[in-house]
């Protein structure tokens, strides 16, 4: 009986050691693959910049879909803060400059004095331009460059995804319906940029 217990205990120890060794090797391989991918892509900066463009265009794409005859029940106004936090730095600074100020000024004048000439589909883009222009510098840069903006982007993506799945009648139906695929793919692309930021922050 003691001999059997000793063999069982020894076998368990060997199995544990093998599993630990395998996990260590997997971690080393994953780190090497990540470093190799970063080197090939020109570093983490290129990946972050590229994915921020992808995320921003995905959010703009969803706004366009919602303003066409593919209208959905999603709360697309949440895409305004998402775009604010995910815009590439070059485009963000450009829109916060004189160009964005003039666009915001014209939008406000049209909305106040010529409301009939201000279409409904310009409400959300106008709100985005106003947010970009009037956001205090401390808030704009501090929130965009910290984990706060990343968490907000993830929360917006999760909320829009679950609302879209609920409206479609399930995850499978969101890919099966005629207009569901385009919305689903657009929402899933919203996760690319914040997830990449989290991975690079951890690594």
pLDDT in tens, 90-101: 888 888 888 889
Number of other CB atoms surrounding residue 52 within 10 Å: 24
DSSP single-letter state for residue 117: G
- From the number of C-beta atoms within 10 Å of its C-beta (0-12, 13-18, 19+), residue 68 rates as exposed
Q: Is the pLDDT of residue 25 over 70?
A: no
pTM of the predicted protein model: 0.70
Q: What is the pLDDT of residue 155?
A: 92
Name the packing angle between helices 98-113 and 123-134 (round to 10°). Answer: 130
pLDDT in tens, 105-119: 988 888 888 888 777
Binned at pLDDT 50, 70 and 90, residue 39 comes out as low
Q: What is the pLDDT of residue 6?
A: 43
């Amino acid at each position: 009986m003691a001999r059997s217990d000793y063999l069982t205990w020894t076998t368990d120890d060997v199995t544990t050691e093998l599993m630990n060794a395998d996990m260590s090797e997997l971690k080393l391989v994953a780190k090497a693959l990540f470093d190799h991918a970063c080197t090939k892509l020109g570093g983490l900066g290129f990946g972050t910049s590229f994915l921020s463009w992808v995320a921003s265009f995905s959010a703009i794409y969803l706004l366009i879909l919602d303003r066409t005859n593919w209208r959905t029940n999603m709360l697309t106004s949440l895409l305004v803060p998402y775009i604010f936090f995910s815009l590439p730095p070059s485009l963000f600074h450009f829109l916060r400059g004189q160009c964005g100020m003039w666009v915001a000024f014209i939008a406000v004048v049209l909305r106040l004095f010529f409301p009939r000439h201000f279409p409904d589909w310009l409400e959300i883009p106008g709100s985005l331009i106003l947010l970009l222009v009037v956001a205090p510098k401390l808030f704009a840069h501090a929130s965009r460059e910290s984990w706060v903006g990343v968490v907000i982007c993830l929360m917006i993506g999760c909320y829009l995804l679950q609302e879209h799945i609920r409206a479609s009648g399930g995850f499978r139906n969101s890919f099966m319906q005629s207009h569901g695929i385009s919305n689903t793919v657009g929402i899933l692309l919203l996760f690319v940029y914040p997830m990449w930021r989290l991975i690079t922050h951890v690594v």
